[in-house]
Amino acid sequence: MTANPSSSQRPVMLITGGSRGIGAATAVLAGRAGYAVAINYRDNVQAAEATASAVEAAGGEAWCIQADVASEDSIMAMFAALDARFGRLDVLVNNAGIVDKKARVQDMSGERLQRMFMVNTVSAFICAREAVKRMSTELGKEGGAIVNVSSAASRLGSANQYVDYAASKGAIDVLTLGLAQEVAGAGIRVNAVRPGLIDTDIHASGGIPNRVNDLGPSVPMGRGGSPEEVAEAIMWLASDKASYTTMSLVDVSGGR
Ligand code: NAP
């Protein structure tokens, strides 16, 4: 990684968990829209590099940055590297997230709960905090947009599956509602998307690789969604086309 503060006149979008799934699909659409895309990943450098190649093929600029968003130190190092590389931030997509194995609340360990809320919730607060410092017109910056990736689970509760995950996303909804009001006068819009059943690796990581095929027919639209269908909503919320939209929770969930 080389410091190159003047490398880009493009708007800069940081996507946590940009290496795969919904984050990767968003990165490619952002590349098509002309962004310089900072692709955060935790472990999968090959996936991050493949996404970077796709961003560049789409016409954007790409930069991969490893950081475990469960660690505040790691997030701070990521933002320091972002500053050195681009010297600006226009859009933050708080996308990195995990599920755990199917379990009932009565069987969830404290360690599991800590990890779930660190990766899915505390990370989003810390990244949002750092983004606001780099966007706020009250601090002499140029404004920007934050898009949080929540889940339909925050409405549904995910009983007998992963209530911890659903609750971690409920907190993301409330972060969105509260922060949006705090920074509306500082040139920053804050919104969330709430995807339903989307065809990514996350289901296999939770031990249910066939989840989208199995449950797709039960969705009112009769199928699961694609990462690109979620990415389109994220890109709209990030863009000036959504210039009067803040504090919104946008469901991308096929009718459920
Ligand atoms: P995915 O395919 O499993 O990809 C997860 C991404 O997050 C990867 O890029 C991964 O990086 C990254 N990541 C995970 N833990 C991280 C950490 N500690 N630090 C940094 N990066 C980390 O997941 P997805 O389905 O695209 O999910 C993206 C978001 O959408 C999540 O917030 C998820 O809760 C939400 N969502 C998904 C669905 C769905 O059905 N798929 C539905 C509703 C909401 P590596 O590649 O390095 O592992």
Quick one: pLDDT band at residue 45, thresholds 50, 70, 90? Answer: very high
167: helix, strand or coil = helix
Would residue 216 count as lying in a domain?
no
The answer to whether position 117 is within a domain reads yes
Find out whether 54 and 122 touch, Cβ atoms under 8 Å: no
- 203 Cα–ligand 1 center, Å: 10
Confidence bin at 7 (pLDDT 50/70/90): low
Whether 212 maps to a domain, the answer reads: no
- Residue to substitute in 28, 42, 147, 154 for testing ligand 1 pocket (most ligand atoms within 8 angstroms of CB): 42
- For residue 256, being part of any structural domain is answered with no
Cβ-Cβ contacts under 8 Å for 70 (sequence gap 6 or more): 115, 118, 119, 122, 123
220, part of any domain: no
Q: Is residue 41 part of a domain?
A: yes
pLDDT tens-digit series, residues 156-193: 999 999 999 999 999 999 999 999 999 999 999 999 99
Residue 27 is part of which domain span? 7-197+228-250
> Cα(43)–Cα(50) distance, rounded to whole angstroms?
14
The catalytic residues are 165
Per-residue confidence band for 57, with pLDDT thresholds at 50, 70 and 90 = very high
Tell which atom from ligand 1 comes closest to the C-alpha of 66.
20
**What's 79's domain CATH number?**
3.40.50.720
Q: Cα–Cα distance between 84 and 103 in angstroms, integer? A: 43
Residue with token string 């493949």: 50
Radius of gyration for the chain, computed over Cα atoms and rounded to the nearest angstrom:
17
Q: Tally the domains of the chain.
A: 1
Q: Is the pLDDT of residue 63 over 70?
A: yes
Distance set, CA 75 to CA 66, 114, 127 (Å): 9, 17, 7
The answer to whether position 150 is within a domain reads yes
pLDDT, position 1: 32
Q: Is residue 185 part of a domain?
A: yes
Percent of the chain scoring above 70 in pLDDT: 97
**Residue pLDDT, tens place only, 240-254:** 999 999 999 999 999
The finding on whether 60 has its CB within 6 A of some atom of ligand 1 is no
pLDDT of 232 over the 60 cut: yes
